[in-house]
Amino acid sequence: MQKVNVESKDEEKTEEECQCNAQTDEKTEDYKVYGADETENATNEESRDAADDAKKAAEKMLNDVYATFKSKQKEWNKTFEEYTANKPLIDLFEYDDCLVLKMDLPRVKKDDISITMAPDSIEITAEFPSIEDENKEVKILRRERCTGRTKNIIPIPVDVKVEDVSASFENFELVVTLPKVKPKKVDVEIV
């Protein structure tokens, strides 16, 4: 037996005596299972089983959500590609006295273009001819050219004279000229 010195009152106690005086609080924790009847007294093992079941159910739900997103991804990408593929490209330039909008409309006829003005935007609608391949057995690997009807609404960042807007269409390029509203200079009399 080993002797241990304790500083208080220079008493000598054995290790055995020190251990006997120490209080040991060994608790056994019971897990609370949510959804269980509170009057039930679940043991640790039952609680662990319930927790494992809940974990498996949560993992299954997450996997189902992931699988749904994964299965729809191709469909969503296709929808996004169709939306962006059917929009012709535009350029909008600002000069001192006007804005100039240029839009490429390949394969489109002048009669298939419609322009509508609003005070804060311009709407351009065009009808692209459908692309029909004579050989029906050909597999299309990529299709990026516009087909069908398309509508672009372009916001106008400055005030323009709606009644003076002009447009031209040459070599499959639409050019729309939007003259700016010139600020009026008014002399104000100070009273």
Q: String of b and e for 71-99 (b: at least 16 CB within 10 Å)? A: eeeeeeeeeeeeeeebebeeebeeeeebb
Q: Is residue 169 part of a domain?
A: yes
**Helix (H), strand (E) at residue 175:** strand 173-179
Closest CA to 90 of 127, 130, 129, 123: 123
As given in the structure block, the two tokens for residue 146 are 């516009």
* Model pTM score: 0.51
Per-residue model confidence as pLDDT tens digits over 144-186: 777 788 888 899 999 898 899 999 999 999 999 999 988 788 8
Shared domain for 105 and 157, answered yes or no, is yes
Shared domain for 41 and 119, answered yes or no, is no
**pLDDT confidence of 78, banded at 50, 70, 90?**
low
**pLDDT confidence of 3, banded at 50, 70, 90?**
very low
As given in the structure block, the two tokens for residue 132 are 């029909």
Q: What is the mean pLDDT of the chain?
A: 76
Domain of residue 108: give its range.
90-132+141-179
Mean pLDDT of 106-111: 90
Per-residue model confidence as pLDDT tens digits over 85-95: 567 889 999 99
Shared domain for 96 and 161, answered yes or no, is yes
